[in-house]
Chain A
Amino acid sequence: MSIKISEDYNLPDSEMLRSGNSYKGLMVWVPENLMVVVGKGSDPEEELLAENILLDRIPVIRRGTGGCAVVLSPEMAVVSLILENDPDKKQNEYFRQFVGVITNAFKKMGVENIEMKGISDIAINGLKVAGSSIFRSKDYVFFHSIINIAGNTRAMERYLKFPPRQPDYRLNRSHRDFVTSLKEQGYEIDIHEFEENLKSEWLLHFR
């Protein structure tokens, strides 16, 4: 059984990505339905539980950024941003800045013990609450981060295999033991308020 992967990335931030450096901006959006998004170089066989995906008719889309496969659901929020590439800036510097802006925005909303972990994850109390990736061209940097606002890990366990690569702090933990949501950690997040906080943070810190 093989999964059909849509190479036509048509999620809300696709316009941003297509515009490349002619567009500069930041958006926060919520997926309309459950789907699986694989990374640019993902091997579906290695990362996906194909049988369940086909059985549940879950759409699978390939994104332009790196990283492993993820599940998107309406209980999650995606931060997408694009800006002019600074060739002198290192990748990890970009991650640190982008992720820093997101964690600051949550801190403003009273979220505690939220921090950057691994290469580009965001964790609360050592549990992953968001993952991020970057696509970088000569002209622009496109970043997105998928934040688990209120979702549970059932979908991840059903559609995603244990990832082929893991950050140090994962320590071989299963999806259930490794991933959490802001709701699970006791935070009711208003997406609009989060977006406003995020934008004001970004306005101050970014060029």
Chain B
Amino acid sequence: MLYVFKFPDIGEGIHEGKILKWHVKKGQEVMEGDPVVNVETDKVVTDIPIPKDGVIKNTYGKEGEVINVGDALVEMEVEGEEAEEEAEVKAPPKEGREAEGEPASRTEVAKAKTKTKKIEEKGFGVVGQIEEADTDAFLPATGEGMEAQAAVAAEKEPGRKALATPVARKMAMDLGIDINTVRGTGPAGRVMKEDIKKAFDEKQAGPKVARKPGKIEIPAEAEDMVEVEELTQIRKTIINRMVQSKFTAPHATAFEEVEVSRLVELRKEKKEELAEQGVKLSYMPFIIKAVSLALRRHKSLNCKLDMENNRVIYQKFYNIGFATDTPEGLMVPVIKNADRKSIIEIAESIKDLSDRARERKIQLDELKGGTFSITNYGSIAGTYGVPVINYPEVAILGVGRIVQRPVVKGGEIVPGNVLPLSMSFDHRIVDGADAARFIKDLMAMLADPLTMLMM
């Protein structure tokens, strides 16, 4: 019987991906776990494995085409029980293409509908390892970002027909909501009753301030003077994340300076020694360790605000994300349980994760689950900044460049090494005093790293 494998939800907030390369052709026999297509998602380029054994009947989408989660990827013949149910498939094959063995273009066939024998689809990940999305996923789904995406999706697919149960459809009709414009949060994008309720509430609340930027026209006479590049998936993600954070969490930023001569000395002393063992010791492992230890004492900086349920979730694990500059843009790999790792282990993790982020070999789950982030722009240049919180985290630390400056020690003016810190926090849940107390503890550890031994 026929089985349609859809582009799976490979992480919360990931809604689309670009097909880079097909690994299979029509008529090809595949085994469960075989990569069928190479896709550029928001943060990584990854292979999508097929969840069943079978023979490929059709592939949907051309290389370079953007597909949405829930869109049909592959139609295949599999062995097994038939489930007598009709399912909608967003991108059925076009006969002409089928005959040629060429993938059907999604835009050409989006409105079509076909009958197929439905097989229950399990949640499948990429590279066979990615877990189902959870609330810690690196692309959080809140109304802010989603609203814009749903609108974009609706614009892109005017004939888009939402997946929904009859109950949900009736509810939408009763409330005067066009269900096809509602973004579904259920399996494979299914529109749930909650989604309709939310859409109704938003409709009742009236129009929001338009956040979709206007179209930029390029005058014909200026065409030779500009270079136009299509946004990459990663850049789109960054845009959504930044907008979501700034429009959701009221940011407040605290600035501080800490004299870190002892840290500079310690790092200098150990740097060469560890280099011989292949460990690159920057200041970041010390900062990450100190942050993770300070977070253990200041739970409000390591929480999540769950407004849906009017509660705060205090996390007793300390996963520190560190902003990494890659050729494709910003990525934030996460060092899990940093408080339980030695500084050498953190140094090794930083190198491993950032190298793989730059090579785009990093796994999605290595970009998820952060509880606090650090951005070290000082490694390039800059003293202070107003970092944007990596929402739904509630704080981010910006680390500036260490500068030599005169400082007063024991009543004497002496040369010092000053590290500028800028910490943005979500002022809904983190009070200024909490932030200040956290920074004070952090500064104490950075000023005298050996005090970390006592934390």
Contact = CB atoms under 8 A, between A and B. Distances in A.
Interface of A: 24-26, 84, 196, 199-200, 202-207
Given A207-B341, A207-B342, A25 B450 contact: no
Given A200-B269, A200-B270, A205 B454 contact: no
B242 to A, nearest CB: 34
A24 B455 CA distance: 7
A200 B342 contact: no
B436 interface: no
Contacts of B188: none
Nearest to A199: B450
Interface string B440-455: 0000000001101111
B34 to A, nearest CB: 35
B1 interface: no
B236 interface: no
A24 B343 CA distance: 16
Interface in B335-387: 339-345
A93 to B, nearest CB: 14
B340 A203 contact: no
Given A200-B266, A200-B269, A200-B270, A207 B453 contact: no
Interface in B265-281: 266, 269-270, 274
Given A205-B342, A207-B341, A25 B270 contact: no
Given A200-B266, A200-B270, A204-B270, A24 B453 contact: yes
B344 A199 contact: no
Given A200-B449, A203-B266, A207-B345, 10 more contacts: A200-B266, A200-B270, A202-B453, A203-B343, A204-B342, A204-B343, A206-B342, A207-B339, A207-B341, A207-B342
Nearest to B293: A24
A204 to B, nearest CB: 5
A129 to B, nearest CB: 23
Contacts of A26: 453
Tell me which of A24, A84, A207 has the highest count of chain B C-beta atoms within 10 A of its own C-beta.
Answer: A207
Nearest to A83: B453
Contacts of B274: 204
A102 to B, nearest CB: 15
A24 B454 contact: yes
Interface of B: 266, 269-270, 274, 339-345, 449-450, 452-455
Contacts of A199: 450, 453
B341 A203 contact: no
A207 B452 contact: no
A205 B273 CA distance: 13
A34 to B, nearest CB: 30
Contacts of B341: 207
A206 B455 CA distance: 12
Contacts of B270: 200, 204
Tell me which of B344, B450, B452 has the highest count of chain A C-beta atoms within 10 A of its own C-beta.
Answer: B450
Contacts of A207: 339-342, 345
Contact of B452 (A84, A196, A203, A205): A203
Nearest to B337: A207
A25 B453 contact: yes
7 contacts: A24-B454, A203-B343, A204-B274, A205-B344, A207-B340, A207-B341, A207-B345
Sorted nearest first, the 9 A-B pairs with minimum C-beta distance are: A199-B450, A204-B343, A207-B340, A25-B454, A207-B342, A205-B342, A204-B344, A206-B342, A26-B453
B339 to A, nearest CB: 8
A200 B450 contact: yes
Contacts of A25: 453-454
Tell me which of B450, B452, B453, B455 has the highest count of chain A C-beta atoms within 10 A of its own C-beta.
Answer: B453
